[in-house]
Structure formats: structure tokens, C-alpha cells
Chains A and B, each alone.
Chain A
Amino acid sequence: MRLRNLPVFRGHALAGLVFLVALLFGPATPARAGDQELKLRAQLIWGTDEAKPKEAAYKDLEPDLRQKLGRIFKWKNYWQISEQRCGFKPGETKKLKMSAKCDLEVRHLDEATIEIKLFGEGKLTRTVRQSIRVLERGELTVLAGDDKDKHDDAWFVVITSTK
């Protein structure tokens, strides 16, 4: 235990060694075909403890996503505000309008990476680069945060691959 916890084993030295060993001896993962279109689904979701407002046209979330979010976050209800589905050829960039205040700019950066830019009220807030392989494994990429006006609520942008 002591040896493992020497400072040298904690930081980038270990990362560097692992990286080197992984590259030399680890299984090589075949690269994704370069011209393949990537199909994505983006959902804007509202998390709240309150009931759905009667006048709102929010959709109920599919049960498995609802349960997944419910196991990680504390809110009782999750409503889908909007949804966009889009295909991206390599190098292609598209803007997705999720709501009056929320936009995404998605770019198929290279054969391994997708870049998602999040805009709130027109301002660029975050850029997230995610592995396409992770998305294609069925994993979810979730950008989320507290509701600025109502701190007890939260918003979620869920990105998934639809293959």
C-alpha cells in the first residue's frame, strides 16, 4: 500500500507509464470507418419535484431513461421539453434548437470524436468532446445544471447515438 501511494504513483507519471504499456501491449481497437454517418438524438429534459403544468405540452419520458436519471439524480419527475434527431457526416456541423434559450452545435470532428457546443441564451457555455465509440456503446452523455430561475429544478440535455 505504501509503495502504491508514493507521490510518483499518483499523478501523471503513472498515467504516462500506463499509457505507454497500454499502447505497446493493449488490444488495438479498430478505427471507425471514416465516411460513416453518425446518427444522434438530443433531448432537452426538465427535472422537477412538481407536477407537470396542465398547459405545458411536455412529453413523458420513456421509462428506461426516466429510471436511469432517477437513479442518479434526486428529482421525482422528468419531462421531455423537446427532441431532435440528426445524422452527421464526418466534418459536418449542425445547429440544433432545443428551446428558445437552449441551442446545441454538434460537429462530427473526426472518426473518433464528436464535439458538442452548448449555447444558453445565445452564449457559448460549454464545449464537450465525447468519444463516438462511447456513444455507440449505448452510453448517455448528459449536460445538466440547476435551473437559473428556479433552483429546485434542473435541466438536462441527453445525447445518445441512434446508430
Chain B
Amino acid sequence: MTHKAELNLQAWLDGELSVRAAAEVERLVAADPAARDLVAELRWTRQVLRAGEVERPVPESREFYWSKIERAIRAAEATAPAPRPSVWWRWMRLVVPIGAAAALAMFFTLPSLRVAPSVAEIENHLEDMGSFSFRSESEGMTVIWIASD
């Protein structure tokens, strides 16, 4: 059997041949036991591959895996150009500083209203080391992950 004939056998099996070419291959398979054996091998190889694909779960927790994705999304968005502000937004730009100023005034004059932040505040002192943090509610854990770049 030529190599071209072998590739045609494979293409026939994969449904990639025209009707005419397929009929030729069928004649070959009927007449040649070696062609039949090769078709059988190619066929079971395909079947075991489909049946035996390995399941491989992510070796990290949902929170840890997501935290890295979220961090990358936010970093990319921070560098993207800002959208044109809407009328609503321009109006809110007036309201928000007033609201924030009122809130701050109350925060400093009424200490009993100070609520503990649930997220740690982090300062980075080494530029060659990046870090990100995430909080797992289920485990009650805040993680600050430091990565040397």
C-alpha cells in the first residue's frame, strides 16, 4: 500500500473524502486485509482517545485561581483609555465629593461609627516583587501573596 493510499484510508475514516474517492477506498478495504487491519487500528485509536480523555482539575482553590484572573483583568482595565463621561456621571461628580466630605467629617467626629475594614491594607516596598491579595470567606482567611517577578 502506498503512503497516499494510507492517508486516503484515514481520510475516508474521518469523513474527509468525496463520494467518488470514498468508493475507491471502500473497494480497497474490501480487497486488502492489510488495509482492513490498518483501518481497524486507526478506528480503535480514535475511540480510545475520545473515551479516555483525562480529567484534570485545577490544582488551586476557586478563590485563589479567580483572584489572579481578577487581578489581571483589573490591571488591564486600569491601563485602558477611560470611557467618555455621561451626563449622569458629570452630575454625580458633584454629588460624590460632597457626600464623601460629609462622611469623612462624621467619621472623624464620631469615633463610635468607625467600622473595622475587612480587607487588609498593603504597602509594597520592593519594586521587583509584585503582590496581590484575596480573601476566602469560606476559610476566614486573608492572603497576601508575594511573587518575585
Chain A interface residues (CB < 8 Å from chain B): 6-8, 12-13, 16-17, 19-20, 22-24, 26, 28-31, 68, 71-74, 112, 118, 123-134, 137-146, 148
B89 partner, pick from A8, A31, A144, A148, beta carbons under 8 A: A8
Known: A16-B99, A17-B96, A28-B112. A126 touches B122 (CB 8 A): yes
Q: Is B124 an interface residue (CB 8 A)?
A: yes
The answer on a CB contact under 8 Å between A23 and B126 is: no
Q: List the A side residues contacting B60 at CB < 8 Å.
A: 72-74
Q: List the A side residues contacting B115 at CB < 8 Å.
A: 22, 26, 29
The answer on a CB contact under 8 Å between A20 and B103 is: yes
Nearest CB on B from A68, distance (A):
5
Most buried by A among B107, B122, B143: B143
Size class of the contact patch on chain B? 35 or more
The answer on a CB contact under 8 Å between A23 and B146 is: no
Known: A7-B89, A126-B144, A148-B148. A19 touches B103 (CB 8 A): yes
The answer on a CB contact under 8 Å between A23 and B113 is: yes
Chain B, interface SS category: mixed
- CB closest chain-A residue, reference B126: A125
Q: List the A side residues contacting B88 at CB < 8 Å.
A: 6, 8
A129 partner, pick from B99, B121, B148, beta carbons under 8 A: B121
Known: A126-B131, A126-B146, A131-B116. A71 touches B139 (CB 8 A): yes
Nearest CB on B from A108, distance (A):
14
A75 to B85, CA, bound (A): 46
The answer on a CB contact under 8 Å between A73 and B61 is: yes
A131 to B117, CA, bound (A): 6
Chain B interface residues (CB < 8 Å from chain A): 59-61, 63-64, 83, 85-86, 88-89, 92-93, 96, 99-100, 102-103, 106-107, 111-118, 120-126, 129, 131, 136, 138-148
Q: List 10 A-B contacts (CB under 8 A).
A: A16-B99, A20-B100, A20-B102, A73-B64, A125-B126, A126-B122, A126-B146, A129-B121, A130-B142, A146-B148
The answer on a CB contact under 8 Å between A125 and B99 is: no
B116 partner, pick from A123, A133, A141, beta carbons under 8 A: A133
The answer on a CB contact under 8 Å between B64 and A72 is: yes
A68 to B126, CA, bound (A): 29
Nearest CB on B from A154, distance (A):
9
Q: List the B side residues contacting A12 at CB < 8 Å.
A: 96
12 further A-B pairs in the complex, CB-CB below 8 A; given A8-B86, A134-B142:
A8-B89, A17-B99, A20-B99, A31-B114, A68-B139, A72-B143, A73-B60, A130-B121, A134-B120, A140-B142, A144-B144, A145-B131
Q: List the A side residues contacting B117 at CB < 8 Å.
A: 131, 134
The answer on a CB contact under 8 Å between B63 and A72 is: yes
The answer on a CB contact under 8 Å between B83 and A7 is: yes
Q: List the A side residues contacting B122 at CB < 8 Å.
A: 126-129
Nearest CB on B from A6, distance (A):
7
Q: List the A side residues contacting B100 at CB < 8 Å.
A: 16, 19-20
